[in-house]
Chain A
Amino acid sequence: MCLGIPGEIVEILPDRPDLAMVAVSGVRRAINIGLLDKETVAPGDWILIHVGFALSKIDETEAKAALDFLESIGQAYDDEIAALRQSMIEQG
């Protein structure tokens, strides 16, 4: 829950500008980007996600470092990704 998970923005949804499709650890999920400056967010950007919301933009190196950290902690990250897979955040 407290873990910040890096994800790469794949697509910003035209009908819901506060949502983006994001690739997170091999999973594609809708993530709320309403807390970022919209003008500065584009596909290909990396973001740090907390419980379904992007809290900050990060660079690719930081994303990789964050992923390595998460993978190193084992169970907690597996649980978080399992929860994310079941997440139903979506359009509408």
Chain B
Amino acid sequence: MRFVDEYRDADTARALAARITALCEPGRAYKFMEVCGGHTHTIYKHGLEDYLPPEVTLVHGPGCPVCVIPMGRVDDAIHIAHQPGVIMTSFGDMMRVPGGDGSFLDAKARGADIRMVYSPLDALKIAKENPGKQVVFMAIGFETTAPSTAMTVLRAHAEGITNFSVFCNHVTIIPAIKAILDSPDLRLDAFIGPGHVSTVIGCRPYEFIARDYGKPLVVTGFEPLDILHSVLQILEQLAQGRSEVENQYARVVPWDGNPKALAAIDEVMELRPHFEWRGLGFISHSALKVGDRYARYDAEQIFEIPGGRVADPTSCQCGEVLKGVLKPWECKVFGTACTPETPIGTCMVSSEGACAAYYNFGRFTRERVKEATRR
């Protein structure tokens, strides 16, 4: 196997940084949002902000599916899990996400049968092995995981399995980006576009951002040099007065995405009129539900859903962090009341959340920066 130095080389990073600096107009402040939590991770892990000139600020976006689940939906899922004969299943990331009345782990301790699965196909297998139980899969994620849920429903349908259903919380990335673009809170110059989501949706859905909003978007890989390269591509566009969608991650992302995955979503799911996002509020056509043709696999048709709304704890500023208005360390409770061990907000629960990433990797860099400025 070949080495990956081509994505990591420090000299290349410095050369890219020099070209980035040369392209910045002195005195102009550039704000680029990295939409995806995976990018946030790379940025903190490798201290990429240290390579960038002070003119360039990277702000973190809403691309962490666990982070944007509103507390009320967690409560709804727990309500279903407590119904007689139900086995609730979900990804491990979901287990510690707090609802208004505790997390899945708390509900499990109170006797609910909640099981962690790696894949929705595992949930389907549990359903086959437990014909007397109703097995519900708590589906979360962007377009990266929605095709898997859709394919699992199709499989259940093909095999005639009747005791499997999906509590669907899939969200779609484009309306969230649009909501951020339309929000008065934040002035962004460009986007570092998500990598894995784009393997499914491709690059075309972003074209309105360049066309209608005049902002460049560069679909980007997860290596440190990918991100620096993408920043350079964005600055080149801005310097030349262009706004286009570019694909820096073409080695993985096809321009048209994965047509089979899109077709599976299309077959099984339909857009909800609106859906609540933690921190961002209600966004129109931003989430998926199980479509009418597959209603027998829709947990919302099978169970009564309380559907309550729960306000985030007042001390929690995840909403501002998810919109890129606050950096994690600017939140009142970051690192004090809210830590990965005792998270208050979702951004600290999920390993892809900006706060957890920053807590785990970034804090010490920032402290070093502070020390350096003091001297």
Q: Is chain B found bound to chain A in the same assembly? A: yes
Does A50 count as interface, using CB distance less than 8 angstroms? yes
> 0/1 per residue, A1-12, Cβ < 8 Å to B?
111100000000
Q: Which residues of B contact A58 (CB under 8 A)?
A: 251-252
Report yes or no: A32 in contact with B151, Cβ–Cβ below 8 A: yes
Expressed in whole angstroms, the Cα–Cα distance for A48 and B196 within the complex equals 9
Please judge, given known A-B contacts A60-B1, A73-B351, A79-B92, whether A51 and B120 are in contact too, CB under 8 Å.
Answer: yes
Please judge, given known A-B contacts A1-B91, A34-B151, A61-B2, whether A88 and B260 are in contact too, CB under 8 Å.
Answer: no
Report yes or no: B4 in contact with A64, Cβ–Cβ below 8 A: yes
The residue in B64, B140, B252, B254 that gathers the most chain A C-beta atoms within 10 A of its C-beta is B252
Please judge, given known A-B contacts A35-B264, A60-B2, A89-B122, whether A51 and B92 are in contact too, CB under 8 Å.
Answer: no
Min C-beta distance of B43 to chain A, whole Å: 12
Min C-beta distance of B83 to chain A, whole Å: 24
Size of the chain B interface, CB-CB below 8 angstroms: 54
* Range, interface on chain A: 35 or more
Q: Which residues of B contact A74 (CB under 8 A)?
A: 360
Partner of B147, one of A35, A48, A72: A35
Report yes or no: B145 in contact with A50, Cβ–Cβ below 8 A: yes
Min C-beta distance of A58 to chain B, whole Å: 6
Contacting residues of chain B (231-279) with chain A, CB-CB under 8 angstroms:
251-254, 258, 260-261, 264
Report yes or no: A51 in contact with B91, Cβ–Cβ below 8 A: yes
Partner of A50, one of B7, B37, B196: B196
Partner of B199, one of A1, A2, A55: A55
Does A23 count as interface, using CB distance less than 8 angstroms? no
Does B121 count as interface, using CB distance less than 8 angstroms? yes
Expressed in whole angstroms, the Cα–Cα distance for A18 and B374 within the complex equals 60
Could you list 20 further interchain pairs (A-B, Cβ under 8 angstroms) beyond the known A35-B151, A56-B252? A1-B65, A2-B64, A4-B199, A34-B151, A35-B147, A48-B196, A48-B199, A52-B119, A52-B121, A55-B261, A56-B199, A58-B251, A58-B252, A63-B1, A64-B1, A65-B4, A66-B222, A69-B42, A83-B118, A89-B121
Residues of A within 8 A of B (CB): 1-4, 32, 34-37, 48, 50-53, 55-56, 58-66, 68-69, 72-76, 79-80, 83-84, 86-90
Q: Which 4 A-B pairs have the closest CB atoms?
A: A52-B119, A76-B351, A83-B118, A1-B91
